[in-house]
Structure 1
Amino acid sequence: MTYRHSRGRVCRSLLRLSALTLACGMLGGTAWAQTALPADQDAIEWHQPAQPMGNAITALALRTGLQIGVDADAVRGKQAPALEGRLTARQALLALLEGSGLEAVRGSSGSYTIRPATPAPVRANPTTGEEAAGGSLPTVTVAAGRDTVTEGTGSFTTDSPIRTAAGLPLTLRETPQSVTVITRQRMDDQGISQVSDVLRRTPGISFVQNGNSGSDSNSVYSRGFMVENFQIDGIPQAGTASGSWLQQTGDLAPYDRVEVVRGATGLLNGVGTPAATINLVRKRPTAEFQANASISAGSWNYYRGEVDIGGPINESGTVRGRIVAAVQDNESWIDRYKEQKQIFYGIVEADLTPATRLTAGVNIQQHDSDSSARSGLPLFFSDGSLANFDRSANAAASWAHSYQDQSQYFLAVDHRFDNGWTAHAAFNRSERAYDDVIGYAARGYVNRTTGAGLSLWPTRWNSEPVQNAADFHATGPFELFGRRHDLVLGYNISRTVDRPPSYTNWYIPGYDSSIPNFYLWNGDYPAEPFNPQTGTNETATNQSGAYATVRLRPTDALSVILGARVSDWSERKRSIPFSGKATFSSRSENGVVTPYAGVVYDLTDHWSVYTSYTDIFKPQTSKDLSGNTLDPLEGKAYEAGVKGSFYEDQLNVSAAVFQTDQDNLAVALPGQFAPDGSAAYRAARGTRSRGYELEAAGELMRDWQIGAGFSRSVARDADGVRLNTQVPGQLFRLFTTYRIASIGNGLTVGGGVNWQSETYSSNLGPSGKARFTQPSYGTLDLMARYQINKQLSMSVSLNNVFDKTYYTSTTSSFYGAPRNVQVTLRGTF
């Protein structure tokens, strides 16, 4: 197999950006804004049918007592959707007006006027403090269609439903699991542009970094276990095709938010660990023209540019588009390490009918890194003492590199029926191309005096895996025993094909990989080895499943959520060496049933208690020391907790306790490898993880946002021995901002703390008996943003303020980033 790295695809796409920008700049369109309304009353149960808009508004006013003035000409001929579920007056009014081209304007007396939406002089921006006409709160721009969005809200949480946990559209309080939403506002405030950086700052999530970006040795953990379930717009992403790429080198420019559901989510994913599911939700086209651009510069020659343009494509606004592009070039505190990134994202939405929408788009990301390593240098000298290398030391050879391309093409159709039901069909194709030429100093230990004793570990991995995935589901209300309930029926299917070549690798005949004196080494020698291809491997993985979830409402305060999934999974492998006999293997699991149950009880209008249960099932690819694949992971997960929502769901708080029981858990064997060179694992039986989590996110008071969480979890085997000790058992995450409106056009200041407890690994060093411990530590980040005028702002982020030195790995000398600064200039039009 000959691999050719397609380095020019993104570049060619970006060259078209200027033409696309000009085209979008010529678009007009009517504003599609809705004024954010204050809290009117507590939530009530709605079963209002679809009907003419005038009738619907009259019915709402009679039931809630709101004074609403309506222009008869403005609502004539418009149809309002059905209202279902528990909604406040504000939420109900917004739901009626969604997509109608109307807006609600609040007067000083508390009454509202319904009128045609008019172009706003300035797009709603929570950082500017711009007041809505006739009201006292900033305007919220809502994306066209029927989607949850967080950009433009200025919030660190969402009051809109999400589907990641059970397939039903449930608010955070209605979901019987721990859920965190990292909103667009929070990502922008923290200067976060990479998926890995979001994961480092998410409550209950630990990012264990053993090597540079793109390395397969980096892992994400939650509740003591590795996170392997990644989704984009709710469609599961296979590890070789997309999942591992997302956590390593994925860029956030195309995404509106990141949803993290902690615990098992086998109902929608089919297979997976009980750690968490991470769902990245794409940005949607906007119904009115908008554009923003930013340039950033920072420590270690960091430079980044980004542009985001969207709006209607035709005069009526029934076709809308959006393009996002970004380029990034940076060095690092690690000697010789460099990165380049290019991102292009385009999406188009078309209203085929007032109730049917077609969506299509593409997302292309390219990430190149030079002098990259899978780990840091050894932790110990040859005499067994701690090596304590400098933070800037690089274990990689100068010729080592990692080139990764990811292209995704997606298509979706949504239809809303008059009875309140919706249908969704989506297709996603992921094409990943990667080429990792690896050479890093991982063999042996440095002699403290002479610098000898260390050698490179050379190898090469490259492939072009492809995943085709589809998801179909229908959601809506039904009546039973005189009450309204909710149901979702769905089916998803995926096929992933990977054909990587095999190479000599690891111990290449005749190649001298030794480094005579590490103290004089600059990465230039030994030279890149001749590593010929020796054959081809092929893996085809098929997964499908049908699922159903129902939310029964025996009373207004009680929700019972029941669901099940029936899954089929198969994997076929073929190894074809250039010399010798080909080998074949296959595994399959059919008719695996994954049940799910949850109960939510509303104690008051603001507090609820919940409990949930689900099964765990996951075929594994990890191998033991003999090269045998471990048996499927099986287990059960339990969770219980309390949730609260305040200020019209602008502040969400939660507390949860959980327990997870598993068999055949893959536990890494540090420094040991399977015959093919991959990391070796052992299967642990009778494992149990227990812990608790606390979280708060949203608006504490006007202009004050917070996102905070504390988690504790410990996993042990049947003998009580702690597992995955390289993962912290306790995590504390905090980030908060406050806008001081009285300073100029508005000054926002903020800060964050990331703290974790002690981690360690055993059976290390020349003796194979040493233990390395990273003590507990915390880092402080600060930020400030000044609104220069309505269109222009400048922000500064200072990370690791006290320049804390710490290891991000307990198996090699890989350090976290030293103190660094980033400055961003952003324009919004």
Structure 2
Amino acid sequence: MAQIQSLFSTRPVPVSDSTVSATYVAVTLAATVALTFSVAAHAQQRAVPITIGPQPLSDALLKLGQQTNLQFIYQASLLQGLNTRGVKGTLTPEQALDQLLSGSSLRYSRQGNTITLIQRAQPQVAATAAAVDDVTQLGAIVAETYADPGITEGSGSYTSQAMGSSTRLSLSPRETPQSVTVMTRQRMDDQGITQLSDLVQQTPGLAMDSAGNAGSDSSMIYSRGFEIDNYLIDGVGQVNSNYSSIFQTSDMALFDRVEIVRGATGLMSGLGSPGGALNMIRKKPTQEFQALAKLEMGSWDHYRSEVDVATPLNEEGTVRGRVVGVIQNNHSYLERLREKKRIFYATVEADLTPSTLARMGFSYLEDNITGHARSGRPGFFSDGMRTEWSRSDSAAADWAFSKRRNQSFFVSLEHRFENDWLVKGTYNYASSRYNEVIGYAAGGYPNRESGQGVSIWAGRWAGKPRQNSLDIYATGPYTLFGRRHDLVVGATLTHTEEATPTYGLWRFNGWDGAISNIDDWDGSTPGAPVNPASGRMHIREKSASAYITTRLRPADDLSVILGARMTSWDNDKRNYDLAGAETSAVLQAEHDKLTPYVGIVYDISKAWSLYAGYTSIFKPQTYQDTSGNYLKPLLGNSYEFGVKGSLLDDRLNVSAAVFYLKQDNLGVALPGEYAPNGNSAYESVSGARTRGFELEVSGEVLPNWQLSAGFTRSVSKDKDGGVLSTEVAQNVFKLFTTYHMPNVGNGLTLGAGVRTQSAIYQDGRGPNGERFTQKGYAVVDLMGRYAITDKVSAYVNVYNLLDKKYYSGVGTAYYGAPLSMKVGLDIRY
């Protein structure tokens, strides 16, 4: 119970830190009080429980008016013959209305408590009962809005009704011919998911090989046996082949949801991992005022505060804004590891006309870590036997650190035409800065008696990458052979540039990295080597692609999705000495590479669909072999077949899929061998095959019962039948469920989850080539939340309830987190 007790630790904290923490808490409390007074000055509509089943749209609007006290004005002919799939969840009235109208040609405007429905082809009119002929009033809509149908905030659900991360068409999960998962805002809140690494550990089908601290280049995300390095924000790729791990630093407070696509994603990203992609969707302003404040504390001196305020900025609600702020300080179960995070996000959107929406925003993230390590301590003694360290024993030198900054600015403009077509353009500028001094005790193997034989790997890298990206697309319906179909065409340009000093790595003249006795090492000796800049490196990475995707509807129950993306990519990396003379240059370039995509979805009933999907794989690789040569691009084909169901009025999604991938030039790490740059060396394997299947269920099983569960089996083999990627679990099962009891006090929610995986191993890790193995294991988590009032809730999350001890990767002794907990207050208006 030491970890739980550490939640209330009384060990001394430096005065400056405690003062800063107290200031942060005071600021957050002050902000909360300010929000309380703001509520009195804002008329608002809060999220409320809404239940409307599939039925004619006119009947559904009548029920929505009864449940929310809205009044609707519309011409009766507008709704003739229109039906809706219904809506269920804890939603604001406008979120419910957006779902009811999804897929129709209707839009609306709002004045007070009155909603006016009009055809998209008509200009917005401030209609009144006297001005409209043949008008029916149901009880109460007016400022026009175009809501994202995939928004999960306020839904209370573990699934989403729409997502576009696979094809860019706005499709429901059942209509998407690929395995997809949506990590909703509700589930992130329930499980206390604040970091991207937390999300990956809880997402079905994903695995994390953490051989070092989260966010380091030795902490990798896998899907179907392949590393994921495709990170997108609002559908726009984050490109930095030199150091893609910096994108793992993302904090989930900024996002409404994360859409995870498993399998090849070349249609969306052009040059992409065959394993999948993570698309993080930013929070947006809301039509009504809402505010959130969180105060949280946890094991190992974890303190976190959040403020999130969204509000209309003018009386008509045509200009809206949102601000998010996060402060986090924490130690760790690992000695010497300490983290400080500061996050700010602001966004504003405006209805320039009834059909034109402009949005802009800015985000800032600061992440400082001391006691940072790329691995754990050695996994073997010098005699070939396994070591057995305490989970708190760190490999980090006390002078090792990681500092990261990221600033991002984005602006978008979208216009809806009278024919229901949408054109949208987004420009994004991101500037990052990282400075990491490396020092970790993983060299050699300790003598069992003396503790000698271990040395420190040391070095430094730093950089200031900047990315400019422009994404433009148009999407809408068209008619062919008397039937309605969907089309999206677009283009994406990215330019990433980085100028950075270069430093020495691993070994230094006049510096001895040997540790006298690892058993009583405190991280202070030896000191950091003298490591001034030895030169500079300049990197330019450019990508340009154009794509087209159409969903053909040859029959009511059949969809055929055809797509293609043409991509050109250049990565120019040059090194210079201090005098400015070029010492080396590497140019990787691929031009006009075509990525085709075919998907077929057949509806066997209103609830069930069969699907098949195909796409090709093309991905340039930045892995190097032992001679420093870059591997040739990864080539291959991906096939997927499955069945999907949308049950219980679309509140529950289920799926089953089988997949097969064929790859050439697959990069496979060579244990214990290194490239000239100090990174692990790789070799190309041709004729590799990956086979597997996935099962997943997510959503509301019964009223108030949310569930997410998934099982994945994936096996990769070379052409001779040898197993590849043994460091990634072949079998992964994840489950999390909550049940809400509204009649217990003001409301009680209890939840539990389990994460299990099969054994992982890697050969050649010991002094005599011994195999490093982590047997299969299971980790159990719990949560609870109690509504003290209708606005204030208390919550608790317990992680690794059974205190399971396990390695989170193979190669060195880096352990997963032991038993821990977080408690907090959630205040919402």
TM-score by length of 2: 0.88
Counterpart of 2:431 in structure 1: which amino acid?
E
**Against the structure 1 CA distance between its residues 42 and 683, is the aligned structure 2 distance closer, same or farther, given a 3 Å change threshold?**
farther
Residue 193 of structure 1 corresponds to: 194
Distance in 1 between residues matched to 2:462 and 2:368, nearest whole Å: 14
- The structural deviation recorded for 1:686 is 0.7
Distance in 1 between residues matched to 2:806 and 2:85, nearest whole Å: 57
Residue 310 of structure 2 corresponds to: 310
Distance in 1 between residues matched to 2:149 and 2:739, nearest whole Å: 28
Distance in 1 between residues matched to 2:518 and 2:195, nearest whole Å: 33
- The yes-or-no answer on 1:403 pairing with 2:403 is yes
- The yes-or-no answer on 1:148 pairing with 2:150 is yes
Counterpart of 1:261 in structure 2: which amino acid?
V
Residue 361 of structure 2 corresponds to: 361
Residue 350 of structure 1 corresponds to: 350
Residue 700 of structure 1 corresponds to: 701
- The structural deviation recorded for 1:42 is 9.3
- The structural deviation recorded for 1:29 is 6.2
- The structural deviation recorded for 1:328 is 0.6
- Contact 1:327–1:342 (CA under 8 A) maintained in structure 2: yes
- Contact 1:41–1:88 (CA under 8 A) maintained in structure 2: no
**Against the structure 1 CA distance between its residues 35 and 485, is the aligned structure 2 distance closer, same or farther, given a 3 Å change threshold?**
farther
Residue 60 of structure 1 corresponds to: 79
CA deviation digits over 1:407-431, x for unaligned, max 9? 1111101111111100110011111
- The structural deviation recorded for 1:41 is 3.6
CA deviation digits over 1:763-802, x for unaligned, max 9? 11111x1001111100110111101111100011111111
- The structural deviation recorded for 1:504 is 2.4
Counterpart of 1:741 in structure 2: which amino acid?
P
**Against the structure 1 CA distance between its residues 690 and 143, is the aligned structure 2 distance closer, same or farther, given a 3 Å change threshold?**
farther
- The structural deviation recorded for 1:40 is 2.5
**Against the structure 1 CA distance between its residues 187 and 32, is the aligned structure 2 distance closer, same or farther, given a 3 Å change threshold?**
closer
- The structural deviation recorded for 1:114 is 3.8
Distance in 2 between residues matched to 1:16 and 1:315, nearest whole Å: 28
Distance in 2 between residues matched to 1:103 and 1:654, nearest whole Å: 40
- The structural deviation recorded for 1:573 is 1.7
- The structural deviation recorded for 1:595 is 0.4
**Against the structure 1 CA distance between its residues 592 and 18, is the aligned structure 2 distance closer, same or farther, given a 3 Å change threshold?**
farther
Residue 730 of structure 2 corresponds to: 729
Distance in 1 between residues matched to 2:261 and 2:504, nearest whole Å: 41
- The structural deviation recorded for 1:244 is 2.0
CA deviation digits over 1:525-572, x for unaligned, max 9? 111110011101111011011100010000100000001111111111
- The yes-or-no answer on 1:585 pairing with 2:604 is no
Secondary structure at 2:723's aligned position in 1? coil
Distance in 1 between residues matched to 2:49 and 2:141, nearest whole Å: 10
- The yes-or-no answer on 1:805 pairing with 2:824 is no
- The structural deviation recorded for 1:35 is 7.8
- The structural deviation recorded for 1:17 is 12
- The structural deviation recorded for 1:242 is 8.2
Distance in 1 between residues matched to 2:457 and 2:481, nearest whole Å: 68
Secondary structure at 1:245's aligned position in 2? helix
Residue 52 of structure 2 corresponds to: 38
- The yes-or-no answer on 1:443 pairing with 2:443 is yes
Distance in 1 between residues matched to 2:46 and 2:485, nearest whole Å: 31
CA deviation digits over 1:316-365, x for unaligned, max 9? 11110000001111111111111111110100001100110110001111
Counterpart of 1:709 in structure 2: which amino acid?
G
Distance in 2 between residues matched to 1:514 and 1:400, nearest whole Å: 16
1:731-770 matches, within 5 Å, as 731-767=732-768, 769-770=769-770
- Contact 1:293–1:828 (CA under 8 A) maintained in structure 2: yes
Counterpart of 2:640 in structure 1: which amino acid?
E
Residue 216 of structure 1 corresponds to: 217
- Contact 1:440–1:457 (CA under 8 A) maintained in structure 2: yes
**Against the structure 1 CA distance between its residues 100 and 678, is the aligned structure 2 distance closer, same or farther, given a 3 Å change threshold?**
farther
- The yes-or-no answer on 1:267 pairing with 2:267 is yes
Counterpart of 1:341 in structure 2: which amino acid?
K
Counterpart of 1:363 in structure 2: which amino acid?
S
- The structural deviation recorded for 1:144 is 6.6
- The yes-or-no answer on 1:489 pairing with 2:489 is yes
Residue 126 of structure 1 corresponds to: none
**Against the structure 1 CA distance between its residues 99 and 813, is the aligned structure 2 distance closer, same or farther, given a 3 Å change threshold?**
farther
CA deviation digits over 1:254-310, x for unaligned, max 9? 100010010111012010111011000000001111111011111111110001001
**Against the structure 1 CA distance between its residues 63 and 453, is the aligned structure 2 distance closer, same or farther, given a 3 Å change threshold?**
closer
Counterpart of 1:156 in structure 2: which amino acid?
Y
- Contact 2:265–2:272 (CA under 8 A) maintained in structure 1: yes
Counterpart of 2:78 in structure 1: which amino acid?
A
**Against the structure 1 CA distance between its residues 470 and 395, is the aligned structure 2 distance closer, same or farther, given a 3 Å change threshold?**
same
**Against the structure 1 CA distance between its residues 603 and 703, is the aligned structure 2 distance closer, same or farther, given a 3 Å change threshold?**
same
Between 145-154 and 365-374, the greater mean CA deviation after superposition: 145-154
Counterpart of 2:526 in structure 1: which amino acid?
P
Residue 285 of structure 1 corresponds to: 285
TM-score by length of 1: 0.88
Secondary structure at 1:499's aligned position in 2? strand
Between 507-516 and 670-679, the greater mean CA deviation after superposition: 670-679
**Against the structure 1 CA distance between its residues 103 and 445, is the aligned structure 2 distance closer, same or farther, given a 3 Å change threshold?**
farther
1:579-618 matches, within 5 Å, as 581-618=582-619
- The structural deviation recorded for 1:113 is 6.5
Distance in 1 between residues matched to 2:575 and 2:642, nearest whole Å: 48
Aligned length: 763
**Against the structure 1 CA distance between its residues 503 and 736, is the aligned structure 2 distance closer, same or farther, given a 3 Å change threshold?**
same
- The yes-or-no answer on 1:234 pairing with 2:235 is yes
- Contact 1:242–1:430 (CA under 8 A) maintained in structure 2: no
CA deviation digits over 1:733-791, x for unaligned, max 9? 10000011221111100100000011001011111x10011111001101111011111
Counterpart of 1:60 in structure 2: which amino acid?
L
Distance in 1 between residues matched to 2:148 and 2:187, nearest whole Å: 23
Distance in 2 between residues matched to 1:552 and 1:594, nearest whole Å: 19
- The structural deviation recorded for 1:811 is 0.6
Secondary structure at 1:764's aligned position in 2? coil
- The structural deviation recorded for 1:162 is 1.4
Q: 2:160 aligns with which of 155, 158, 161?
A: 158
- Contact 1:622–1:629 (CA under 8 A) maintained in structure 2: yes
Residue 788 of structure 1 corresponds to: 788
Distance in 1 between residues matched to 2:472 and 2:165, nearest whole Å: 14
Secondary structure at 1:239's aligned position in 2? coil
Secondary structure at 2:771's aligned position in 1? strand
Distance in 2 between residues matched to 1:796 and 1:39, nearest whole Å: 34
- Contact 2:109–2:115 (CA under 8 A) maintained in structure 1: no
Residue 205 of structure 2 corresponds to: 204
Distance in 2 between residues matched to 1:694 and 1:804, nearest whole Å: 26
Residue 427 of structure 1 corresponds to: 427
Counterpart of 1:288 in structure 2: which amino acid?
E
Residue 641 of structure 2 corresponds to: 640
Secondary structure at 1:336's aligned position in 2? coil
**Against the structure 1 CA distance between its residues 94 and 754, is the aligned structure 2 distance closer, same or farther, given a 3 Å change threshold?**
farther
Distance in 1 between residues matched to 2:488 and 2:334, nearest whole Å: 50
- The structural deviation recorded for 1:15 is 8.8
Distance in 1 between residues matched to 2:49 and 2:110, nearest whole Å: 13
Distance in 1 between residues matched to 2:457 and 2:656, nearest whole Å: 46
Distance in 1 between residues matched to 2:389 and 2:31, nearest whole Å: 50
Secondary structure at 1:402's aligned position in 2? strand
Residue 681 of structure 2 corresponds to: 680
Query: What percent identity do the matched residue pairs reach?
Result: 44
Secondary structure at 1:268's aligned position in 2? helix
**Against the structure 1 CA distance between its residues 724 and 373, is the aligned structure 2 distance closer, same or farther, given a 3 Å change threshold?**
same
Distance in 1 between residues matched to 2:54 and 2:105, nearest whole Å: 13
**Against the structure 1 CA distance between its residues 664 and 104, is the aligned structure 2 distance closer, same or farther, given a 3 Å change threshold?**
same
Residue 623 of structure 2 corresponds to: 622
- Contact 1:32–1:117 (CA under 8 A) maintained in structure 2: no
Distance in 2 between residues matched to 1:479 and 1:66, nearest whole Å: 24
Residue 67 of structure 2 corresponds to: none
Secondary structure at 1:59's aligned position in 2? helix
- The structural deviation recorded for 1:512 is 1.2
**Against the structure 1 CA distance between its residues 36 and 566, is the aligned structure 2 distance closer, same or farther, given a 3 Å change threshold?**
same
**Against the structure 1 CA distance between its residues 325 and 539, is the aligned structure 2 distance closer, same or farther, given a 3 Å change threshold?**
same
Counterpart of 2:315 in structure 1: which amino acid?
E
Counterpart of 1:770 in structure 2: which amino acid?
E
CA deviation digits over 1:31-50, x for unaligned, max 9? 49798451134999xxxxxx
Distance in 2 between residues matched to 1:101 and 1:721, nearest whole Å: 67
- Contact 1:610–1:640 (CA under 8 A) maintained in structure 2: yes
CA deviation digits over 1:31-88, x for unaligned, max 9? 49798451134999xxxxxxxx955654325555999xxxxxxxxxxxx9xx9xxx99
Distance in 2 between residues matched to 1:284 and 1:434, nearest whole Å: 28
